[in-house]
A and B are shown apart, each in its own frame.
Chain A
Amino acid sequence: MLLFRDEEHVDRWCAAREIRRGAVVSLDQAWRLAHGWYRDKAKPFWRRHTVGEAEALFKEVGLSGPFWSLRG
């Protein structure tokens, strides 16, 4: 996952590599996603999210649809 100045830079990066544009998310969404994903990672009781938990996190952050499905 890369940071870009704006969506025009995303499109230029994708075009240069002939890859389809993926999903563009705001920094606020990315922060909330990272926080939910990693906040317990360094703690002894950490465990992996279940598929349901991960998808619930995506949804909570406003990320839904086929791109964010883990059941593909």
Chain B
Amino acid sequence: MIQLADPTGDLATEVRVTLFSVAAATGRVPQAPELARTLQRSESDVRAALRQLAAARALILAPNDGDIWAASPFCAVPSAFRVSALGRLYFGICIWDALGIAAAIDAAADITAPCGDCGAPMRLEIRDGALARTEGVVHFAVPAARWWDNIGFT
């Protein structure tokens, strides 16, 4: 069952607000060293806050180095789910997050993604808060209650 705990620590909130603000404004997800410099806190404190935010499912940490993999819907690394908006390029970890980026930044957006089966390029457009160009269907492979069993495969 999905846990609902929200981060309540002040630093966790500061980190969340800062990193999502930067991600939305630039398309780039800032990592712990940059967040530490921006907030004038130690990197270890910021990493602890990031772990707290990950536990609360506000973001996803990479399994090995603990860096941010995605401040969902903003993916920290390039992916096949590309969102062009506001003159910038954003990445989502899946098609839902690509759509979510357009929602989070509340802007016209062009989304390109490959067909999961054949790899054919597909294109969606968001204009005025609605789908203006659409093709294909979306497949959820895993029931909602199990998404967080492995958030990398849903």
Chain A residues proximal to chain B, CB less than 8 Å: 1-7, 9-10, 12-14, 16, 19, 21-31, 33-35, 37-44, 46-48, 50-51, 54, 58, 66-72
- Docked Cα-Cα span, A69 to B115, in Å, equals 27
Nearest-neighbor residue (CB-CB) of A12 within chain B:
B117
10 closest cross-chain pairs (CB), A and B: A2-B116, A38-B100, A34-B99, A72-B145, A9-B117, A42-B24, A13-B117, A35-B103, A27-B134, A30-B138
CA distance A46 to B6 in the complex (A): 10
B148 CB to nearest A CB, Å: 10
Contacts of B140 in A (CB 8 A): 1, 22-25, 67
User: Do A38 and B117 touch across chains, with their CB atoms under 8 A apart?
Assistant: no
Q: Is B23 an interface residue (CB 8 A)?
A: yes
Q: Nearest Cβ in chain A — how far from B127, in angstroms?
A: 12
Does the CB pair B144–A69 fall under 8 Å?
A: yes
Q: Assess whether B96 is in contact with A27, with CB atoms less than 8 Å apart.
A: no
In the complex with contacts A47-B6, A69-B145, A5-B96 CB distance below 8 A: no
Give a binary string over B51-72; 1 marks a CB under 8 Å from any A CB, 0 the rest: 0000011100000000000001
Docked complex Cα distance between A13 and B115 (Å): 10
Q: Closest Cβ of chain A: how far from B95's Cβ, in Å? A: 4
